[in-house]
Amino acid sequence: MTHSAVKHRGWAVTFSGIGINLALGILYTWSIFKDAIRESIEAGGPGSFDWDPAALNDPYAACCIVFAFAMILAGKCQDRFGPRITAFIGGILVSLGLIWISQTTGYVAWVLGFGVLAGAGIGFGYSAATPPALKWFPPAKTGLIAGLVVSGFGLASVYIAPLSQYLVGIWGLQKAMLFFAIAFLIVVCGLSMLLVNPPEGYVAGQTAPSASKEEKDLRLTPPMAGWLQESVSALHASKAIKMKRDIGPAEILKKTDFYILWFIYFIGAGAGLMVIGSVAGMAKSSMGDLAFLAVAILAVGNAGGRIIAGVLSDRIGRSYTLIIMLLFQALLMFSAIPVFSSDKTSAILLVSMATCMGFNYGTNLSLFPSYTKDLWGLKNFGINYGIVFTAWGVGGFVMGRVSQMLKASTGTFSSSFAAAGILLLMGAALTLVLRASLARQGLTQKRRT
């Protein structure tokens, strides 16, 4: 395969992954659906939703945790059967879940349909999008490619939020869910056919060295040329072995570094998901019916954070980028206490702050897969990152559920923001501990110059 063909194939896989994530990112539009359910509860009458207000985030929280734990099984499936089959399964599961909830207003059905079935489908599709793309590119582009692929998931709300608002307005919530079920079945299953791993023995970024004058001269003596070729091949193989860290899931679970990394991810993801799951409700008092714009604009920040953090981490290292993100997010959380608790806050300030929170949250989704690849290699990347990703689901479930309970009991999100800010400061401190541990093992990423 020529260099241009390899490059073309790698980018085709990358953009297919982005497209799949653009569909699966419906998760981040939950606040629009939640607002429609809340209005139905308040309106009452035949066919309306009849839920406990404190449970409004439960399908979203369940989706987060099922999504995360499904990534373990999906990662194993991706490593064993390839990304194409894994993503196809994801498209089927998401569609079945959305079809189910399009036929009911029942609380249990929504938790199972949106939370379990759609959550598992998102996990299968998401787990299959990034690994094949990373395998087509050299290590120096790990952050960039990971950031691009996962940016689709964050960017999804840019079109899903206004589309959902429009469809809910003209058809109602159930028919809108049916529309998404059919559309995403076609998109995810169709694009899954384009996901493919590189051929066996392919080494990203490796090019054949040009022959020196001495090597050209040695070609006149076949025995010597054969010996030289064997020596060069052995040298390349030796370098590849040294660069390769193919560590399996059983081994990473014995490492303290894994648990530190997991808890940092729990904090960073949980804080962001807490805001994303409720941003439409937070913006309702300032923006009214245009609150969906806060969701769409936050999605731009979410996607931008993934790409920029990926590129920045390739330049200055994962740890420095992560520390900057966690500290900035902590500052935003503390600043949000007076902003989101005031009825007179300007819509521009509120949206700007939510967008910055989305930006910081998005950085998690490119940094942690890059960390996983750097530390434990690509051979078991699917299942390894699936295990790491459980932190994302547990964080979203715990902080999303606690945040909604605090809101129902106090009427504000102030306590949630304060708790998240403190945890984010702890996460920054733990990142320093992790960096020191990796430095002792000689595993810290060197900054590019």
What pLDDT is attached to residue 279?
A: 66
How far CA 8 is from CA of 16, 106, 226, in Å, comes to: 12, 47, 33
Q: Pick from 308, 382, 316, 375: which is nearest to 127 by CA?
A: 382
The SS3 call for residue 300 is helix
In this prediction, what percent of the chain has a pLDDT beyond 90? Answer: 31
pLDDT in tens, 194-253: 999 888 777 766 544 444 443 344 344 444 444 344 444 443 443 443 444 678 888 999
Whole-structure pTM value: 0.72
Q: Pick from 426, 26, 30: which is nearest to 265 by CA?
A: 426
Mean pLDDT, rounded, for 430-448: 75
Angle CA 246–18–65, to nearest 5: 70
Beta-carbon contacts of 405 under 8 Å, excluding residues fewer than 6 positions away, are 54
Angle CA 227–232–233, to nearest 5: 95
Distance, CA of 445 to CA of 185 (rounded, Å):
40
Mean pLDDT, rounded, for 54-67: 87
pLDDT in tens, 10-51: 899 999 999 999 999 888 788 889 889 988 998 888 878 988
* Contacts of 288-291 spanning 24+ positions with Cβ under 8 A: 290/347, 291/35
Provide the residue ranges of all domains of the chain, joining segments of one domain with +: 15-44+51-198+246-440
- Over its C-alpha atoms, the chain yields an Rg (Å, rounded) of 23
CATH superfamily of 15-44+51-198+246-440: MFS general substrate transporter like domains (1.20.1250.20)
Mean pLDDT, rounded, for 139-150: 84
What pLDDT is attached to residue 144?
A: 86
What pLDDT is attached to residue 416?
A: 82
Distance, CA of 413 to CA of 425 (rounded, Å):
19
What pLDDT is attached to residue 205?
A: 61
Residue 388, pLDDT above cutoff 50 = yes
What pLDDT is attached to residue 140?
A: 82
Residue 103, pLDDT above cutoff 80 = yes
Q: How many helices (H) and strands (E) does the chain have?
A: 19, 0
